[in-house]
């Protein structure tokens, strides 16, 4: 018989997208709630006393007034950049040359890659993140390392070998053929194994020749159940670089589109400086856009148009983009998204921010039926928040007149001290 665990506390779940539906209709906050876990799955959700009476044999974990939510879903990250996070003073192209490429050259060493993979998953779990979508390096060893580390934890993960065959240092380039062959072998090894999903991963157009992009498009056509992740329109000088490299392309998106790399299941990181054609085309093809606010401010990229893209109906997720992003915390990422929204004249509601960090990112990854929400049948990936984790937060939340006022100080000022517990696949981490 499968043992069951009953978690007691406040609970937050969503029945609709609060970016499009009123918060009162989209979000459900239960002040005396409970979540039943059986076999790694959420088996029941309800009111605390009724659930205790209904499941008297379940092991009970009482979190009091702490808030039980879905675990955070980070839809775009670079785990190999863990050790270079918060490096000073560079924009995108210089960042890659100065910090990223020298560090990534070390990941052909499986022992080194495994150490960083374990450290990265420790850091993200400590910050309440239960699912990540990450770029690896060109080395198959780096891909094996992160998938193995996640499998040991029973953790859902999306990852892929980063493919680059130009504009990168010696020792950090593959070829169109080896990129295809290595990616295919890794895909066949890992995709669909336990909770692993493979993402075909050309870094971005400037570091892939047309031949390599064509090979990646061919591989995706052969395996359309995989995701495809890359970068798009992060900085204006990057866009100019792309124009010079692809003079016949209509725009940046076209450098992917002409090779079959635009469509459902495509994850476009950043997507800040978009043309009207790019916006319309990605909406038509149901591409996922991933907002990386701490990265966009840290390396000076620009301000994502959350209001406009949401109004157009785009599929949008939220991400740390570590290590260009300056924090492993999705709480800090939500805070940065709020700040960017304010700079663009739109204050995102706490429910909207939390939805983006959970169900929104799950939708971006095409996994909203599995993760990112508290609902019967979902995988039991949960984060438990202490809404009074520091004196500064506690004194503000004590004055709250609504649950959202109690949550917002933790979004804006919270860190790993706010993470009371993390449950991954029904097991406490």
**Does the pTM exceed 0.95?**
yes
Cβ-count burial of 56 within 10 angstroms (0-12 exposed, 13-18 middle, 19+ buried)? Answer: exposed
- Look-up of token digits 């169109």: 176
Which domains are delineated in the chain?
4-70+373-428 (2.30.40.10), 72-364 (3.20.20.140)
Name the pairing type of β-strands 27-38 and 4-14.
antiparallel
pLDDT at 2: 60
**Averages of pLDDT over each 10 residues, the chain, 429 residues:** 88 98 97 98 98 97 98 98 91 88 96 98 98 98 98 98 96 97 98 98 98 98 98 97 98 98 98 98 98 95 97 98 96 98 97 98 98 98 98 97 98 98 96
CA–CA dist 212, 351 (Å, integer): 41
pLDDT at 1: 44
CA–CA dist 194, 322 (Å, integer): 25
Q: Is-cis flag, bond preceding 323, omega within 30? A: yes
pLDDT at 92: 81
pLDDT at 3: 87
Closest CA to 365 of 130, 202, 116, 19: 130
Name the pairing type of β-strands 156-160 and 196-202.
parallel
């Amino acid at each position: 018989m499968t043992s069951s665990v009953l978690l007691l506390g406040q609970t937050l779940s969503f029945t609709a997208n609060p970016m499009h539906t009123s918060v009162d209709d989209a979000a459900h906050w239960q002040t005396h709630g409970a979540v039943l876990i059986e076999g790694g799955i959420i088996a029941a959700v309800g009111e605390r006393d009724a659930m205790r009476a209904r499941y008297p044999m379940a092991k009970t974990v009482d979190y009091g007034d702490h808030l039980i939510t879905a675990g955070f879903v980070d839809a775009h990250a670079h785990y190999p950049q863990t050790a270079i996070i918060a490096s000073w003073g560079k924009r995108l192209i210089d960042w890659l040359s100065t910090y990223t490429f020298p560090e990534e050259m070390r990941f052909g060493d499986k022992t080194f890659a495994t150490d960083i993979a374990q450290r990265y998953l420790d850091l993200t779990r400590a910050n309440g993140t239960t699912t990540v979508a990450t770029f690896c390096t060109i080395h198959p060893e780096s891909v094996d390392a992160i998938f193995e580390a996640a499998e040991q934890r029973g953790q859902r993960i999306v990852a892929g070998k980063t493919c680059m065959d130009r504009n990168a240092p010696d020792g950090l380039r593959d070829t169109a053929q080896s990129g295809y062959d290595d990616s295919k072998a890794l895909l066949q090894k890992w995709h669909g194994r336990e909770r692993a999903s493979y993402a075909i991963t050309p870094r971005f157009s400037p570091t892939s020749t047309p031949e390599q992009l064509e090979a990646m498009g061919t591989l995706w056509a052969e395996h359309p159940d995989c995701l495809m992740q890359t970068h798009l329109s992060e900085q204006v000088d990057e866009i100019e670089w792309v124009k010079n490299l692809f003079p016949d392309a209509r725009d940046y998106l076209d450098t992917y589109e002409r090779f079959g790399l635009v469509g459902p299941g495509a994850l476009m990181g950043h997507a800040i400086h978009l043309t009207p054609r790019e916006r319309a085309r990605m909406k038509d093809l149901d591409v996922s856009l991933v907002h990386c606010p701490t990265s966009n401010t840290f390396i000076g990229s620009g301000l994502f148009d959350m209001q406009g893209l949401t109004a157009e109906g785009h599929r949008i997720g939220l991400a740390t983009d570590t290590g260009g992003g300056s924090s492993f915390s999705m709480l800090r990422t939500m805070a940065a998204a709020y700040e960017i929204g304010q700079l663009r004249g739109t204050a995102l509601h706490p429910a909207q921010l939390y939805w983006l960090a959970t169900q929104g990112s799950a939708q971006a990854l095409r996994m909203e039926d599995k993760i990112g929400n508290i609902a019967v049948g979902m995988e039991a990936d949960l984060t438990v928040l202490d809404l009074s984790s520091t004196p500064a937060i506690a004194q503000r939340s004590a004055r709250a007149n609504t649950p959202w006022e109690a949550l917002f100080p933790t979004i804006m000022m919270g860190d790993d001290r706010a993470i009371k517990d993390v449950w991954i696949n029904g097991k406490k981490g």
